[in-house]
Amino acid sequence: MTEYTLYELFKETFFLCLLLSAPVLILGMLIGVAVSIFQTATSIQEQSLTFIPKLLITGMAMIWLAPWMLTKLMTFTYQLLGQLQNFAR
């Protein structure tokens, strides 16, 4: 395995991690900002008010996006296992 091969493998793995985590994190961030604006406008300072909507939205997003995430992960795994003989050199 050359340094270039290792670099490409790391780059693909890192990009896949970003691709799979970004939608859930962005939704959580958007809900957090919306709830924070609501709390500021109404002067409600309840900690569970920010936690529960983010928990529900991220959970629902993970359930809704699970087939897409699994497809991406399986495609990457098949490609990785298909190139296994290249890594053993």
Q: Report DSSP letters for the chain, one per residue.
A: --HHHHHHHHHHHHHHHHHHHHHHHHHHHHHHHHHHHHHHHHT---HHHHHHHHHHHHHHHHHHHHHHHHHHHHHHHHHHHHTHHHH--
Range of the domain at 58: 27-78
44 is a domain residue: yes
Give pTM, 2 decimals: 0.80
Please count the structural domains in the chain: 1
Write the pLDDT tens digit of every residue in 20-76.
999 999 999 999 999 989 988 988 888 788 889 999 999 999 999 999 999 999 999
Instruction: Please name the amino acid found at residue 4.
Output: Y
11 is a domain residue: no
